[in-house]
């Protein structure tokens, strides 16, 4: 058995919390050889429900779950955290865009970024799920000046998984045989799900599908608006698939992606014309606990336009929180 890993999860009493905690405790995040310590954060008014979740976690008698503790104080929940999954925040309802949540949620990520800065492990891996995820991750990163910027990431993995699944359905190629899909930019309808380099069982995906009009007119908006379609159908935002994507994101970051491309929101290094620090979705590979952006992807005019479009939106969101970060 390896050393136990301390995982902090915020919004633990919420619907994504309910879908993710049991999988983390079961070893789906860090492997069946790694015990976990769960530090769960939620608001004071959610502590009763959170205690019920903890009772259920205990009732599973997970062999890997070393301990689990609730808190309503980020400085307690993030103390010595190795991994922090920041979910807690308000979800959107029908008719809203994710950026409409900025007013309600931005402050949360300032407070939590500061707390991570002060009490978490220096190599803490932070994943922001709460929407608008990219800009919330940017706020947390900017509020934690003593931590390396690359510790902070935003979740594009749900979009990546959706992009792969829809390509599998259209092409008839199994999900496991699809590689090199990239989702660029913001976790919003402006995101760019790029299939130009994707392969299905080694063959170029654009050739397999052979339907550029479907790609441009149907697929791109179906991936981009999938979150809204789920809210419309369920009356609630995605939860199990979001939890699954968060697990995929952190697991690959920690344990490696075996050479496969995965889409992650990470602080830009200026590549692909994206200004430094913008929390931007890019294809990455992960190895030895580190992610590396895939460099040198050729950008045609269409792709440049799509990247600029989603970048413009992120820059607007960044401008909207500039005062908060002063």
Q: Which residues carry out catalysis?
A: 187
* Residues forming beta bridges with residue 284, ordered by sequence position: 262, 293
Q: How far is the CB of 93 from ligand LMR (least distance, A)?
A: 9
Alpha carbon of residue 298 to chain centroid: 25
d(CA 307, CA 309): 5
> How many CB atoms neighbour CB 288 within 10 A?
7
The residue ranges that bind ligand NAD (CB under 6 A) are 10-11, 13-17, 41-43, 46, 87-92, 108, 129-131, 133, 155, 158, 187, 237-239, 242
Q: Which of 188, 161, 192 is nearest to 101 (CA)?
A: 188
Q: Are 48 and 1 in contact (CB under 8 A)?
A: no
Contact set for ligand LMR, span 72-131 (CB under 6 A): 91-92, 98, 131
Report what 46 binds from ligand LMR, ligand NAD, none; CB cut-off 5-8 Å by kind. ligand NAD
Nearer to ligand NAD, 164 or 208 (CB): 164
Report what 239 binds from ligand LMR, ligand NAD, none; CB cut-off 5-8 Å by kind. ligand NAD
Q: Which residue is nearest to ligand NAD (CB)?
A: 14
Nearer to ligand LMR, 46 or 87 (CB): 87
Residue 227 is a binding residue for ligand LMR (CB under 6 A): yes
Please indicate if the annotation marks 42 as binding a ligand.
yes
Nearer to ligand NAD, 30 or 108 (CB): 108
d(CA 259, CA 282): 15
CA torsion sign for 268, 273, 275, 278 is negative
CA torsion sign for 244, 117, 146, 273 is positive
Nearer to ligand LMR, 65 or 139 (CB): 139
Nearer to ligand NAD, 14 or 200 (CB): 14
Please indicate if the annotation marks 256 as binding a ligand.
no
Residue 238 is a binding residue for ligand LMR (CB under 6 A): yes
Residue 263 is a binding residue for ligand LMR (CB under 6 A): no
Report what 186 binds from ligand LMR, ligand NAD, none; CB cut-off 5-8 Å by kind. none
b/e code 22-36 from CB counts within 10 Å (16+ = b): bebbebbbbeeebbb
Which stretch of DSSP H or E encloses residue 9? strand 5-10
| Cα angle: 16, vertex 21, 22; to 5 degrees | 120
* Residues forming beta bridges with residue 285, ordered by sequence position: 292
| Bridge pairing between strands 83-86 and 5-10 | parallel
Residue 171 is a binding residue for ligand LMR (CB under 6 A): no
Of residues 12, 120, 158, 254, which one binds ligand LMR by CB under 6 A?
158
Binding-site residue set for NAD(+): 11-17, 42, 105, 112, 129-131
- What residue ranges bind ligand LMR (CB under 6 A)? 91-92, 98, 131, 158, 227-228, 230-231, 237-238, 242
């Amino acid at each position: 058995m390896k050393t136990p890993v301390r995982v902090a999860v915020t919004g633990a009493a919420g619907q994504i919390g309910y879908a993710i905690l049991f999988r983390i405790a079961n070893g789906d995040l860090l492997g069946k050889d790694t015990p976990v310590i769960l530090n769960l954060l939620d608001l004071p008014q959610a502590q009763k429900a959170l205690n019920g979740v903890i009772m259920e976690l205990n009732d599973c008698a997970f062999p890997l779950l070393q301990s689990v503790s609730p808190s309503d104080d980020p400085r307690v929940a993030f103390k010595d955290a190795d991994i922090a999954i920041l979910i807690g925040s308000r979800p959107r309802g029908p008719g809203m865009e994710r950026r409409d949540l900025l007013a309600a949620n931005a402050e949360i990520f300032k407070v939590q970024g500061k707390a991570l800065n002060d009490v978490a492990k220096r190599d803490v891996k932070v994943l922001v799920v709460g929407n608008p995820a990219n800009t919330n991750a940017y706020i947390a990163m900017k509020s934690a000046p003593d931590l390396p910027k690359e510790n902070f990431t935003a979740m594009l993995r749900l979009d990546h998984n959706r992009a792969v699944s829809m390509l599998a359905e259209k092409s008839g190629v199994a999900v496991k045989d699809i590689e090199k899909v990239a989702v660029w930019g913001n976790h919003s309808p402006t995101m760019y799900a790029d299939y130009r380099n994707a392969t299905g069982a080694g063959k170029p995906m654009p050739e397999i599908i052979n339907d550029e009009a479907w790609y441009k007119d149907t697929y791109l908006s179906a991936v981009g608006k999938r979150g809204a379609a789920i809210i419309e159908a369920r009356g609630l935002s995605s939860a199990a698939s979001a939890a699954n994507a968060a697990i995929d994101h952190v697991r690959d970051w920690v344990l490696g992606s075996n050479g496969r491309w995965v889409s992650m929101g990470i602080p830009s290094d200026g590549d692909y014309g994206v200004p430094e620090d913008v929390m931007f979705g890019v294809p990455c590979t992960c190895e030895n606990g580190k992610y590396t952006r895939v460099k040198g992807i050729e950008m045609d005019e269409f792709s440049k336009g799509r990247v600029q479009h989603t970048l413009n939106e992120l820059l607007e969101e960044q401008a909207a929180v500039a005062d908060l970060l002063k």
